[in-house]
Amino acid sequence: MLSDLLRFAGRILFLTEDPAQILRQLAGEDLEPGDTGPLRDQISTDEITPAFICYHFDEKLGDFPYLGLKCGEAFPVKEGSVRAGGFVISVAGKRRGKGSSREASPYAEICAGIRLVIADSFERIYRQNAQNLGLLTSTDFGLIPRIRRGEAIPLAEFTAGLDSVTAEIVRRGGLFPYNAARLKGEVVPPLPAHAPRPMTYAEKLLARHAVVDATAGQVGLPAVKPGDGLFVQAHWRFSHEYVTPMAARFLEQALGAEAVLRDPEHILAFRDHLTFLHRSMNAEHRNLGLLTVAERLKPAQEAFCAKHGIRLHGELPDGSGSEGICHAIMAERHACPGQVVVGTDSHTPHAGALGCLAFGVGTTDIACAWVTGDVRVTVPPTLRVRLEGRMRAGVSAKDLVLHLLAQPLIREGGAIGHVIEYQGEGLRDLDTDERATLTNMAAEIGGFTGLIAPDGETVRFVKERRGVEILLEPWMQGDVDAEYAHTLEVDCGALGPMLARPGDPGNGVALADLGEAVPIHIAYLGSCTGGKREDLRRAFEVVQPAMDEGRRIPDGVQFFVQCGSEDVRRHAAEQGWIAAFEAVGAVVLGSSCGACINAGPGVSTRPDQVTISAINRNFPGRSGPGQVWLASPATVAASALAGRIVGA
Domain identity same for 530 and 474: no
How many H-runs (helices) and E-runs (strands) does the chain carry?
25, 26
Residue 555 neighbours by CB under 8 Å, 6+ apart: none
Domain identity same for 578 and 506: yes
Specify whether the CB–CB gap between 196 and 26 falls below 8 A.
no
Q: Looking at residue 485, which CATH number applies to its domain?
A: 3.30.499.10
CA-based nearest residue to 449, from 439, 457, 459:
439
Domain identity same for 395 and 324: no
Give CA–CA dist 385/370, Å, rounded.
34
* Integer angstrom CA distances of residue 610 from 3, 521, 553, 602, 614: 52, 5, 15, 11, 14
Kindly report, residue by residue over 79-102, the tens digit of the pLDDT.
999 999 999 999 999 999 998 888
* Integer angstrom CA distances of residue 269 from 248, 304, 528: 12, 10, 16
Q: Is residue 183 part of a domain?
A: no
Phi and psi at 458, nearest 5°, equal -65, -45
Provide the residue type at 468 as one letter: V
CA-based nearest residue to 521, from 553, 552, 557:
557
Asked which of 347, 375, 403 is the last residue of a domain, the reply is: 375
Kindly report, residue by residue over 375-421, the tens digit of the pLDDT.
999 999 999 999 999 999 999 999 999 999 999 999 988 999 999 99
| Lateral strand order in the sheet of 340-343 | 311-313, 267-270, 236-240, 340-343, 357-360
pLDDT < 70 regions, the chain: none
Domain identity same for 492 and 503: no
| pLDDT score recorded for residue 255 | 87
Give CA–CA dist 272/276, Å, rounded.
9
Q: Is residue 260 part of a domain?
A: yes
Domain identity same for 140 and 277: no
Chain centroid, CA 491 distance in Å: 27
DSSP labels, 224-258: --TT-EEEEE-SEEEEETTTHHHHHHHHHHHH-TT
Provide the residue type at 534 as one letter: E
Specify whether the CB–CB gap between 75 and 100 falls below 8 A.
no
Domain identity same for 288 and 370: yes
DSSP label at 317?
A: T
Residue 511 neighbours by CB under 8 Å, 6+ apart: 496, 497, 498, 499, 631, 635, 645, 647
Q: Is residue 107 part of a domain?
A: yes
Domain identity same for 504 and 604: yes
Number of domains the chain contains = 4
Cβ density class 290-316: b for 16+ within 10 Å, e for less: bbebbeebbebbbebbeeeebebbbbe
Asked which of 466, 496, 526 is the last residue of a domain, the reply is: 496
Q: Is residue 113 part of a domain?
A: yes
DSSP labels, 617-648: ---TBBTBSSEEEE--HHHHHHHHHHTB----
| pLDDT score recorded for residue 162 | 95
| pLDDT score recorded for residue 64 | 96
Q: Where are the beta strands (DSSP E) in 304-418?
A: 311-313, 340-343, 357-360, 374-378, 382-388
Domain identity same for 420 and 505: no
Domain identity same for 482 and 517: no
Domain identity same for 390 and 531: no
Q: Is residue 207 part of a domain?
A: no
Q: Is residue 256 part of a domain?
A: yes
Give CA–CA dist 265/119, Å, rounded.
40
Give CA–CA dist 290/54, Å, rounded.
10
| Range of the structural domain that residue 506 is part of | 499-642
Q: Looking at residue 24, which CATH number applies to its domain?
A: 3.20.19.10
* Integer angstrom CA distances of residue 413 from 94, 405, 407: 8, 10, 10
Give CA–CA dist 214/232, Å, rounded.
10
CA-based nearest residue to 125, from 137, 113, 140:
137
Domain identity same for 556 and 582: yes
Phi and psi at 249, nearest 5°, equal -65, -45
Domain identity same for 247 and 120: no
| pLDDT score recorded for residue 34 | 87
Q: Is residue 206 part of a domain?
A: no
Cα angle: 640, vertex 644, 647; to 5 degrees: 75
| pLDDT score recorded for residue 494 | 96
| pLDDT score recorded for residue 217 | 87
Q: Is residue 190 part of a domain?
A: no
Asked which of 496, 525, 550 is the last residue of a domain, the reply is: 496
